[in-house]
Amino acid sequence: MQFRTVGVIGAGQMGNGIAHVFATSGFDVVLNDISAEALQSARARVEKNTARQVSKGQLSEADRDAALARIRTTTELGELGASDLVIEAATEREAIKDQIFAGLAPSLGPHTVLTSNTSSISITRLAAKTDRPERFMGFHFMNPVPMMQLVELIRGIATSEETYQALLGVVGQLGKTAASAEDYPAFIVNRILIPMINEACYALYEGVGNVASIDASMRLGANHPMGPLELGDFIGLDTCLAIMNVLHDGLADSKYRPCPLLVKYVEAGWVGRKAGRGFYDYRGDSPVPTR
């Protein structure tokens, strides 16, 4: 399998980061979203982040210009069908992902490999609804994509060894490190990380500590670079809740029950940085705890 062209579906935080790292690694990228405004924002963000790399000496001006020239944007999903590799990076809802792959199917060439950047949903189940389960894998990047070194590779039950080896090679071309995970709910990183954030929500809910003390305790007492509530805001509390629901439904274990306070914040629309409010209020000059 030779990958030269990559289609990325979803121009949000993950999608634009994925487009960024593929373009700076020499791949031609087609970035898709249903929103032209989202595509414009994604393009601007890639330009800003690559400019930062140039200022730090991580990328030359010529390489930056070449990378930006390799990114094309489109609102037409069918334009990704000719890509060698497609990476779905849409909202963490299975029904939306199924709809995307179904909409892409009529335009796909026989050689195209399909992947999902899902952080928790069954790869086997997603793949089974396509016409190429043997050419389907989980390809989970960490956020922020240009900075984080890990990529989780998740094989569905039908994924071929050829597909796995080919994508392992792609991870190497991107200068990142692969971790192979089995297709169980939330895989490796989020199986461990998101329940920790959920437990921090319970500590807040039960009055064990306030937002500031919980985050300071984990930063200074466990040497975490970011407190769990701050991290939840960064990831998106709606995403954290979706992953907890996948764990709870998929494993049927009460230890994965989403914290009622996490549910309440999501219901309020206070889902973190992207909304301006979560466990912190980001609307002022500096974040202020909301509890």
Q: Does the annotation mark 111 as catalytic?
A: no
Q: Does the annotation mark 140 as catalytic?
A: yes
Over the stretch 147-195, which tens digit does the pLDDT of each residue have? 999 999 999 999 999 999 999 999 999 999 999 999 999 999 999 999 9
Question: How confident is the model over 209-225, as a mean pLDDT?
Answer: 98
Of 16, 119, 122, 198, catalytic: 119
Taking residue 44's Cβ as centre, other Cβ atoms within 10 Å add up to 11
Is the distance from CB of 261 to CB of 253 less than 8 angstroms?
A: no
- pLDDT above 90 for 280: yes
Look up the pTM and report it.
0.89
Burial 274-288 (b: 16+ CB within 10 A, else e): bbebbbbebeeeebe
- As to burial, measured by CB atoms within 10 angstroms (0-12 exposed, 13-18 middle, 19+ buried), residue 265 is buried
Q: Does the annotation mark 248 as catalytic?
A: no
Side chain identity at residue 91, one-letter code: T
Q: 108 to each of 32, 81, 132, 270, how far by Cα in Å?
A: 15, 4, 10, 38
Domains and CATH numbers, the chain: 5-181 (3.40.50.720), 190-283 (1.10.1040.10)
Give the pLDDT band of residue 92 (cuts 50, 70, 90).
confident
The C-alpha atoms of residue 118 and residue 122 are separated, in whole angstroms, by 9
Is the distance from CB of 174 to CB of 25 less than 8 angstroms?
A: yes
Phi, psi of 56 (to 5 degrees): -90, 0
- pLDDT above 90 for 103: yes
Of 83, 116, 190, 198, catalytic: 190
- As to burial, measured by CB atoms within 10 angstroms (0-12 exposed, 13-18 middle, 19+ buried), residue 147 is exposed
DSSP states of 246-273 = HHHHHH--GGGPPPHHHHHHHHHT--BG
Of 94, 117, 140, 198, catalytic: 140
